[in-house]
Amino acid sequence: MNNISSYSLILGGAKALDKISQTPRLDSELLLAKVLKMGRDQFYCKDIFPERKQIQAYDALLKKRIQGTPVAYLTGCKEFWSLPLKVNQDTLIPRPETEHLVQQSLVRLDNLEKNYQVLELGTGCGAVAIALAKERPKASIFATDVSPKALKIGKYNAKKFQISNIQFICSDWLNGISDLKFDLIISNPPYVDAKQTNDYDSVALSHEPRVALFADDHGRSCIKEITQESIRFLKRDGWLIIEHGYNQSGLCQQLMQSFQLRAIQTTLDYSGIGRITAGQRYD
């Protein structure tokens, strides 16, 4: 019988991850919970003594984490808006900051009885669209992505949470959208400048799909295209809300002003950085 406890494994794993992770204890717990197929809370109820093969499996995951693979890809799961979503290397890992995109969207979708028409561009694993669908079940949500593999994960997550008010569309931004008009268009597009990866966790980024991260023109091309093309798809009084990089709020504000959007405002993220910019169509 193995005499190595879960407590010892978690402490050892946390120590091994200390130099490469901002949350070494949490990472260690999540990886062991994945192997043991149980919730992290069980580790605080009693000491568990995994079998030898389970310890080997945990060590293998720990090694991959030390090499830089994000925890979410190792566990196949990332919580967003209190929803445990399936993710893999075909999808961007949802960030906590993106919950601000959901929050700002819900502020604009303030009538719970209204059948809002909502479009998300670049849905990935479906995190934002699913969160909105849960909060506004009477809204009709269209979620696009250029990647069929990412859309497959998005559809899986929607089915998992019994979401029926999302239509997933394979589209390069708005190219697959025809005559529809929307009360709200939202996007967390690629905005990282490939030449400025030092501003980000470059090791973690190397594991995520480049198409979901990097944009041309110093990280600005997708934001420009979305802002320009979205105008003709917005209803009168409709909103465009974009998540962007830490130094791109000025760009987003200028672009929205140039296309006659009004009531433009930028919301700060948890770190006090301008992260979400919104503008409204009036004409």
Mean pLDDT value across residues 131-147: 98
Q: In this structure, are 27 and 92 located in the same domain?
A: no
Check pLDDT > 70 for residue 209: yes
Boundary (domain end) residue, out of 17, 45, 67: 67
Decide if pLDDT at 200 tops 80. no
What is residue 272's DSSP assignment?
S
Q: Are residues 101 and 148 in the same domain?
A: yes
Sole residue written with tokens 């310890």: 55
Note whether residue 275 is domain-resident. Answer: yes
Confidence at 228, pLDDT banded by 50, 70, 90:
very high
Do 242 and 168 lie in one domain? The reply is: yes
98/133 same-domain check: yes
Residue 257 sits in the same domain as residue 232? yes
In a domain, 94, yes or no: yes
Give 254's pLDDT tier (boundaries 50, 70, 90). very high
Q: Are residues 258 and 121 in the same domain?
A: yes
The answer to whether the beta carbons of residues 86 and 125 sit under 8 Å apart is yes
pLDDT > 70: percent of the chain: 96
The band of 267, judged by pLDDT with boundaries at 50, 70 and 90, is very high
Given 67, 87, 105, the domain boundary residue is 67
**Count of the separate structural domains present in the chain:** 2
Q: Looking at residues 148-159, what average pLDDT do you find?
A: 98
Same-domain status, 16 and 90: no
Whether residues 56 and 86 fall in one domain: no
- Asked if 148 and 123 sit in the same domain, the reply is yes
Residue range of the domain that includes 129: 78-280
The answer to whether 56 and 82 are in contact (CB under 8 A) is no
In the predicted model, is pLDDT for residue 179 greater than 90? no
Tokens at residue 77, please?
A: 């799961």
Average pLDDT, the chain: 95
Q: Is residue 163 part of a domain?
A: yes
Instruction: Give the domain-ending residue among 67, 101, 116.
Output: 67
* Statement to judge: residues 86 and 39 lie in one domain: no
The set of residues, in sequence order, having a beta carbon less than 8 Å from that of 232 and lying 6+ positions away, is: none
Domain contains 273? yes
Q: Is residue 73 part of a domain?
A: no
pLDDT at 206: 82
Q: What is the CA radius of gyration of the chain?
A: 21
Supply the pLDDT for residue 95. Answer: 94
Q: Is the pLDDT of residue 3 over 90?
A: no
Report how far residue 106's alpha carbon sits from residue 112's, in angstroms, rounded to the nearest whole number: 10
Its pTM stands at 0.94
- Is residue 235 within 8 A of residue 281, CB to CB? The reply is yes
pLDDT digits (tens, 9 = 90+) for 65-110: 999 999 999 999 999 999 999 999 999 999 999 999 999 999 999 9
